[in-house]
Structure 1
Amino acid sequence: IERRLDTVRSMCHHSHKRLLACFQGQHGTDAERRHKKLPLTALAQNLQEASAQLEESLLGKMLETCGDAENQLALELSQHEVFVEKEIVDPLYGIAEVEIPNIQKQRKQLARLVLDWDSVRARWNQAHKSSGTNFQGLPSKIDTLKEEMDEAGNKVEQCKDQLAADMYNFMAKEGEYGRFFVTLLEAQADYHRKALAVLEKALPEMRAHQDKWAEKPAFGTPLEEHLKRSGREIALPIEACVMLLLETGMKEEGLFRIGAGASKLKKLKAALDCSTSHLDEFYSDPHAVAGALKSYLWELPEPLMTFNLYEEWTQVARYLIKFLAKLAQTSDVNKMTPSNIAIVLGPNLLWAKQEGTLAEIAAATSVHVVAVIEPIIQHADWFFPGGNHGYRLID
C-alpha cells in the first residue's frame, strides 16, 4: 500500500500538471474572464473587425460567420476548462498535495513514536537491570520509566490505528479516483459535441455564401456549374475571347497555333476569372486571347463535347464552331484552315479519358479528333442551322 501511495501521488501530480498545460485560458479564473483571454477569442475579434471593413463582399460575409463560430467555440472552451478545473484538476491537486501527504506524515509520525517508545523501553530495561543494587530512589525511577513506556506504547498503537484507517480509506477511494478520469473523458466528449454543433451550423451558412457568389473562377470549373452560377448560356471566357478575336484576330496568321507570352496569358486568364470587363489591353495580342480560349477548354473537368454536357454543349458549340468556321473563311490570310484549326484546337474540345500531359493525350488521339472536328467546322451551317439566338457574333 505504501508503494502504491507514492505511485498514485506521482500520477496525480503529473496529471494535474499536464492538464493545466492543456488549458488555453488563465488558471483560476471564471468562465467569463477566461473567455476574454483565450486565443480563439482574439481570433474571433480579428475576423469580426475585418468583416465589418469588407462589408457585403463574399470575404466579409465569410469572415463574419467564421468569427461568430470562433467566438462560440471560445465560449464553449472556456466553460469546458472551468468545469475540468473544478471537477478534475483541483481534486487531483488535493490528492497529490493534501490527502496522500497527510498519510505520509502520519507514517513518519509513527516512525518517530516507535523510536521514542524504543528509547524509553531501553532506559526502562537498563534501570530494571540495575535494580539489584541498593541505589537510592531507583524503584521510583523505574516506575516513572514504566509509565513513560506505557504512554509511548499507547501513542504508537493509536498512531498505528490512525494510519491503518487512513490506508484503508485510501484503498476504498480508488474507485473515486478512477472516476475523475471517466469525468474527464465525458467532459471532453461533451465539449467536442458542442464544438461540432457550432461548426455544423456555421459550415452550411459559409458554403451557401460561397455557392451564391457569382464571381468564382471560371477556369477549371465544370461548365454546367459556371453557367448556372453566372446565369449565362455561353461561358464568359469563351464569349469574351471570341468577341476579342472577332475584332482583331481573324486575319492573324497562325491563330491558335502560335503560342502567346506566358505572363500575358496568365494575366488574361486571371482577368477572365474575376469577370472583369477591362480587357482593352488584350486587343493588341490575339495570340494571348486564343491561348486563353484554348486553356479554358482544356481545363474543363470534362471535354466540352460529351453526352453529359449535351444541353450546355449545343449552346456553346454552336457559338464556338461558327466562330471557328468564320475564322477558316480567311485561311488565305491567317493560314488557319479547318484542318489546321482541328489540329491545334481539337484536343481542347475532345480528349480520351486517360492520364498524361496535354502533348501526350493530343498525340494519342489527334488523328481521331481531327477526323471529328474538321468536318464539323467545314459544315458548321449544316450541323448548326439557323442564327445564333441573339448572340452578337456571326451573320
Structure 2
Amino acid sequence: MELVRVVSHNTHKRMVACLQGQIGTDAEKRHKKLPLTSLSQAMQDGGNQLGEESLIGKMMEMCGDAENRLASELMQHEMNIEKEILDPLNQLAELDIPNILKQRRQLAKLVLDYDSARARWLQATKSIISGTNTQSLTAKADSLKEEVDEAMNKMELCKDQLSADMYNFFSKEADYARYYVMLLEAQADYHRKSLTLLESVLPTIQAQQDSWTEKPAFGTALDEHLKRSSREIALPIEACVMMLLETGMKEEGLFRIAAGASKLKKLKAALDCSTSQLEEFYSDPHAVAGALKSYLRELPEPLMTYQLYDEWIQASNVSDPDKRLQALWVTCDQLPKNNKANFRYLIKFLAKLAQESDINKMTPSNIAIVLGPNLLWAKTEGSLAEMAAATSVHVVTIIEPIIQHADWFFPEDVDFNVSGMFSMPAPLPNNVNHLTPPDYDSGTIERKRPGSMVGPEAAPRPSTNVIIALIAQLNHHRVKVYHLHVFLSPVSLTGPREPRPRARSPSPSSNNTSAVLRSLSRAY
C-alpha cells in the first residue's frame, strides 16, 4: 500500500508539472522537456514496480506509453485535468492511504499496550500464589484483568476498522486505476490533433479495465457480476448460503435479528473484494444473513425483476390457492436465465431453512415477511418506506407459497456448493427425529402445472407401528432419507392429503427397497 501511495504521489507531482509549458525552444528540445514526457516515464516506472498483477500497474504502463506519443502535440485544458484527475489522485495519495497507514500504526501501538497489560496481569496472578497479602493481590489482579479486557477490545475494534478500510481500498482498485483512463479521455477532448491516436489507444485500455474481475459485487447488476466472474450463482449469495448452512440453520430469528454494523460492513467489504478468508464470519450467522439481505436489496434491479412485477402481483391476487400456484409458476418460468437460477438457488435454501422452523422460528411466512421485500419491489418514485409498504403485503403472498412448495416449483436437486469454493456441512444423523418435517406444508403436494399430467391419487397411509417396522427394514437396506418422505410426513398419522407428485423411477440398486415400499403401501 505504501508503494501505491508513492507512485500515486509521483504521478500527481508530474501532472502538476505538465500544466506549465516551455516556450521558445525548437520542436525536438521542447518535446524532450515537456512535463508529459516526465509523466510518461513516471507512469512506466510505477507500473513496473507494481507489476503485471496490479490493474493500476497495467494502466500506468499503457497510459505512460500514450503520454509519450502525445507529448509532441500538447494542447491541454488545465482546469479539466485539475478537477477530474489531480484532485482524486491527491486524495488517494495524501489522505486515503495515509489514513490507512495511520490506522496500521495505531493498531501496532494497541497490540503493544495489550501485550504489556497482559504481562502485568500474569505477573500479578503469579504473585497471589507466592504472596501473603492475598486479598490485596487479588484486587490488584482483578483491576489488571479489566485493563487487559479493555486493551483487547480497543485492539479488536481497531483491527476490524483497519480490515474494512483495506478491503474497501483493494475493492476500489479499478476505480483508482480509472483515473489514468480519464486522463486520456480528457486529453482526447482537448488535443484535437491527437484524437485519432487517442481513439486507437482508449479501446485497448478500456478492454483491460473491463476484463479486470476484482470489482465490487454489491450494487452491481446481476448479469454483469456473473459475466465478469464467470459464475452461475452470485458470489455473495453462494458464500452467505454456504456459511449459513454450516452454522446458521438453527439460529433463532435468522434474517430478522440485526447484526453488528461493523461486522456487517467488514463482511460486505470482504465479499466485494472476492476474498476467500471468511472463516471469522462463520460464528456470526446474523451478520451473514444481513449481508445476504443487503446484497439483494442493493441490486439495481430486484432478483424477481421489474419486468415481471405486474405479473407477480396479479398472480398473488388470485383467490383460489391452486390457481394462484399455477399463476406463480407461470410467472416464475418467465424469469431470465440468470435470475431464475439464482432465485431457484435461494428458494431451495430458504425451504431448507424453514425445515428447522421449530428451532429457528423462521417459518415460510416469517421468511417471506423479512426477506420478501428484498426480492421484489416496484420501479416507482418515492421513499423506501413507501415502496416497501406498497409491496410487502403482495410479496408475502408470493414468496411464502413458493418456499412452501419449493420442490414443486423447482423439482431439480440443488448443489449449494456450485463453485466448489466452499466445504459442505456434515450430513445430519439418519434417525427419525430428523426425518419429520415441520407442521407446515412441505411443498411436495401435487399441483398441476400448465400442460402437465394429473398426478396419482394419494394412497392410504400406513399405521404408526408399520412405520416403525418400515424404518427398520429401510435401515437394513440402507435407503436414503428422502425415500421415507412419502410415508413420514406429518399428515401420515392424521389422514390423507392432497395428491403428491409422481415419484421418480427407482434406480436398479434400490429395487428391493421399492418392493418393500410397494408391498407395505398395498397392505395398508
Shorter chain as denominator, the TM-score bin is 0.5 to 0.7
Q: Is the 8 Å Cα contact of residues 25 and 35 (structure 1) preserved in structure 2? A: no
Q: Is 1:315 aligned with 2:367?
A: no
SS at structure 2 position matched to 1:253: coil
Distance 1:360-1:258 versus aligned 2 partners, 3 A rule: farther
User: What corresponds to 1:125 in structure 2?
Assistant: none
- TM score, norm. by length of structure 2: 0.48
Distance 1:389 1:196, change over 3 A: same
Match of 1:380 among 406, 417, 425: 406
Q: Is there any run of 5+ residues in structure 2 with no aligned partner, and where?
A: 1-17, 76-187, 309-333, 419-423, 426-481, 483-524
Structure 1 stretch 233-242 or stretch 329-338: which is displaced more?
329-338
Question: How many Å separate the matches in 1 of 2:256 and 2:348?
Answer: 19
Q: Does 1:341 align with 2:372?
A: no
Distance 1:258 1:389, change over 3 A: closer
Where does residue 44 of structure 1 map in the other structure? 40
- Mapped to 1, the partners of 2:416 and 2:393 lie a distance apart of 35
Q: Distance in 2 between matches of 1:328 and 1:72?
A: 63
Shift of 1:236: 0.6
Q: Return closer, same or farther for 1:363/1:196 CA change in 2, 3 Å cut-off.
A: same
> In the alignment, is residue 64 of structure 1 matched against residue 90 of structure 2?
no
Q: Which amino acid aligns with 1:298?
A: R
Change (3 A) 1:358 1:249: farther
SS of 1:214's partner is coil
Q: By percentage of residues, which structure has more helix? A: 1
- SS at 2:268 equivalent: helix
Question: In structure 2, do the counterparts of structure 1 residues 192 and 237 end up closer, same or farther at CA, with 3 Å as the change threshold?
Answer: same
- CA distance in 1: counterparts of 2:398 and 2:55, whole angstroms: 43
Give me the identity figure in percent. Answer: 76
C-alpha distance in structure 2 between counterparts of 1:311 and 1:389, whole Å: 17
Compared with structure 1, are the counterparts of its residues 190 and 318 closer, same or farther at alpha carbon in structure 2 (3 Å cutoff)?
Answer: closer
Deviation, 1:68, is 1.8
Task: Report the Cα offset of residue 389 of structure 1.
Answer: 5.4
Q: Determine helix, strand or coil for the equivalent of 2:191.
A: helix
Q: Secondary structure at the match of 2:240?
A: helix
**Residues of 2 paired with 1:295 and 1:46: CA distance?**
41
Alpha carbons 1:77, 1:191 under 8 Å: kept:
no
The residue identity in structure 1 corresponding to 2:51 is: E
How far the C-alpha of 1:32 sits from its partner, in A, is 2.8
Q: Secondary structure at the residue paired with 2:236?
A: helix
1:190/1:253 CA distance change after superposition, 3 Å:
closer
Gaps of 5+ in 1: 1-21, 79-188
| In structure 2, C-alpha distance between the alignment counterparts of 1:257 and 1:68, rounded to whole Å | 54
1:295-351, Cα deviation, whole Å (9 max, x unpaired): 111111111112585101221112110101111111122111111111111111111
> Secondary structure at the residue paired with 1:342?
helix
Task: Give, as a single letter, the amino acid of the residue that structure 1 aligns with 2:362.
Answer: M
Determine whether 1:53 maps to 2:49: yes
Letter of the 2:373 counterpart: P
The 3 A distance-change label for structure 1 pair 253 and 59 is: same
Moved more, 189-198 or 239-248: 189-198
Q: Residues 1-395 of structure 1 correspond to what in structure 2 (within 5 A)?
A: 24-56=20-52, 57-77=54-74, 192-306=191-305, 310-388=336-414, 391=417
For each residue in 1:107-156, what CA deviation from the matched residue of structure 2 results, as whole angstroms up to 9, or x when unmatched? Answer: xxxxxxxxxxxxxxxxxxxxxxxxxxxxxxxxxxxxxxxxxxxxxxxxxx
1:271-312 deviation line (CA, Å, top 9, x unaligned): 111111000010111111111111111111111112585101
Residues 231-282 of structure 1 show CA distances to partners (whole Å, capped at 9, x for unaligned) of 1110111000000011111111111111111211111111111111000010
1: CA distance, partners of 2:256 / 2:379: 24
Change (3 A) 1:35 1:320: same
Matching residue's letter, 1:318: R
Tell me the distance in 1 between the aligned counterparts of 2:241 and 2:190. Answer: 56
| CA separation of 1:65 and 1:309: change in aligned 2, threshold 3 A | farther
Q: CA RMSD in A?
A: 2.6
